[in-house]
Structures are given as structure tokens and as C-alpha cells.
Structure 1
Amino acid sequence: MAEHNHKLVLGGVSLTKTRLNRQGGPVMDEVRDELEQVIVSTGYLENAPFEWIGLIFYYGLKNDDVPGYQRINKKYGDLPVTIELDVRELRHADREDLKRIYTLATLKTLIHVGEKY
């Protein structure tokens, strides 16, 4: 795994054969940068048993409200979490809608993680 200085890493995995929106990657990076600043400035991770959060969006057929958790990775210091997004809503979304969808899903996940840890 490559070294990085991020406290929040976003990625995506398709659960369907649907083509994804080309703007998804750049918008995801923008959301990460904005929310990572909040994570750092608020001390969100100060007492957490992990150093950073790796959020993977599952591009499926429903929108989850509750993220899935994996064990904290002791080697890399991350908490891997997942949340499913409805790919039908993402496929033809414009940049503004994509940003809203990714931001909302990331915030839901961060709130859930904060309550759990």
C-alpha cells in the first residue's frame, strides 16, 4: 500500500455492470479534500483507535444509511468502511449532484464512525 498523509481516503467499487459517471473521481477528490480539512481542524481522530478512515463506495442498486465496517488494520492504521450508493442516481448526475451525493454519504459514514468510536 502506498504511503499517504490523508486522514480520509475515498474510493469506489462497482457492484453492477453500469458505466460510471466520468466526473466521479475528480468530485470524490474534491469532497475528500473538503471533509478532510474538517476532520483535522475538529480533532475528529484525536482519541480514535485508528489513524485514518478508508471509505469505499459500493456502486450498487440501493442507498445505505448505515456503513459496513471491517476490522481496524493494525499494519496501516486505517478503519475500512463501506457504504452502498445507487448507481442509477450517479450515472447521469451532474457535477453538483455528484458532489451532494458523495458528501452526504461521507458525512453519514463519518457520523456513524464517530458514534461508534
Structure 2
Amino acid sequence: MCADDLSQSLSQNSYYFPPVEEWVMGNKPVDSALIQQDWMTIKQTMWNYVGLQRDGTRLRRALKMLDELSLQIKDFYEHATLTPELLGLRNGVQTALLITQGAYRNKNSLGCHYRIN
């Protein structure tokens, strides 16, 4: 069968995804001040380091800052009661990381962004 062949070929490739672990719901209350502060950190990092004018030094610094913030948010996310605000924050930091990683890899100045080096 086609499905069996596809299943076997997927498991042999490097992009095979392992089974998803069962989610354990956290029960710690969410502190809205922490969420607001993390959003401000994301916004300021993106504006100051990943803005219209970019360079490798700023982008590397932004990646380090966003990686660290992502780890903190992940820990917060795993132990807290899930709320729309917390889900949005998790999605926001992941989006900021993707944009920053893409900007770091792209050495060309195209569109409205200008890469210095």
C-alpha cells in the first residue's frame, strides 16, 4: 500500500518526527506583569536589534536575548495554567526568533530592510 511505503520512507529520513509526549497541565497562576514585561522585552529587542537597519552583531545579540527569553517562557508555559495571554506570548517569542534567524541568515538588503554587513 502507498501509505505503508510512505510511512516507512518517512521513518528512515532525518525529518521524521518522534511521537508527541502527553501534555501535563500546569497549575501555577499566571502573573500578568511577567507576561507584559516579556512582551516589552520582545518588542524592544526586535526594534533595537532587528529593525530596519540590521547588522550581524545586533542580530547575534538579538538571537541570544530571544533564545534566553524563549527558555524562560517555555519553563513558565510548562508550569503555569494556560491562558490566551500566555499562549500568545509563547507564539510571539517563537515568531520573533524565526524572524531574527531569517534576518541573520539573509545577507542581502531587499525590500524595506537594510543589511549593513
Is the structural similarity TM-score above 0.5?
Answer: no
Higher relative contact order (CA 8 A, sep 6+): 2
> TM-score scaled by structure 2?
0.28
Which of these two proteins has the greater Rg computed from alpha carbons?
2
> TM-score scaled by structure 1?
0.28
Larger helix percent:
2
Larger strand percent:
1
